[in-house]
Structure 1
């Protein structure tokens, strides 16, 4: 059922440093910039790591504390061929399948057995990338 690992989503205290390191130094391409509609502020980046895998970074207003090893992990995402089929298998209500606010990708979230957030998404003609 799983087509591939789509992306890892991470928090950061500095989008500037994310851009400097991952884009300027490592050469990853920004595929999508998350921009707040109200104040036009950039709050995240979706970066291509090639082969349809990505890193997603969101700005965190809270100071991130590494003391307890909670890290920067937000969720993992699997790209699927049939989002309705996987939702049914996971007993997810069809109403929970939504479109991303800025990328327009079909998606839903659930938690794994450890409480980690897991996203499933499917690209279609309405998706921006």
Structure 2
């Protein structure tokens, strides 16, 4: 194996929530986190600043829509090159979801750890 994955930093953690406004009040008012701009997703999402470039992404559940696994709870690691990360995953035989761009243009791919937990690799 010649390629090495280069993790730059922890980027964000994403949690599913049931009610956007209730969570907005809890994280924004009670925990005093600053809400930050969120790209235009086609589902409800709010983001908060955790400091030092780290973020909390809250993803609203929508029972009327088809569930997408990558919208579930996950944490994200920033990588230097998402395409190199993809090559490393291929070399190790790790299954992953194809690279795609978020609405804000950030490249991302998702994979599972051995226990099925979702991990996002993103290139900022």
Give the TM bin, normalised by the shorter chain: 0.7 to 0.9
Residue aligned with 1:47, SS? strand
TM-score by length of 1: 0.71
Matched, 1:60 2:61: yes
CA contact (8 A) 1:13 1:59 kept: yes
What is the aligned-residue RMSD (CA, Å)? 2.4
Cα distance, 1:36–1:111 mapped onto 2, change above 3 Å: closer
| Count, aligned residues | 107
Cα distance, 1:36–1:6 mapped onto 2, change above 3 Å: closer
Q: Which consecutive residues of structure 1, in runs of 5 or more, have no partner in the other structure?
A: 63-72, 124-129
The 5 Å alignment of 1:8-19 reads: 8-19=13-24
The superposition leaves residues 56-84 of structure 1 with CA deviations (integer Å, 9 ceiling, x where unpaired) of 1111135xxxxxxxxxx611110111212
Cα distance, 1:105–1:112 mapped onto 2, change above 3 Å: same
The superposition leaves residues 1-49 of structure 1 with CA deviations (integer Å, 9 ceiling, x where unpaired) of 2111111110111111211121123232222335455xxxx60112110
Q: Which consecutive residues of structure 2, in runs of 5 or more, have no partner in the other structure?
A: 1-5, 64-71
Matched, 1:96 2:98: yes
TM-score by length of 2: 0.74
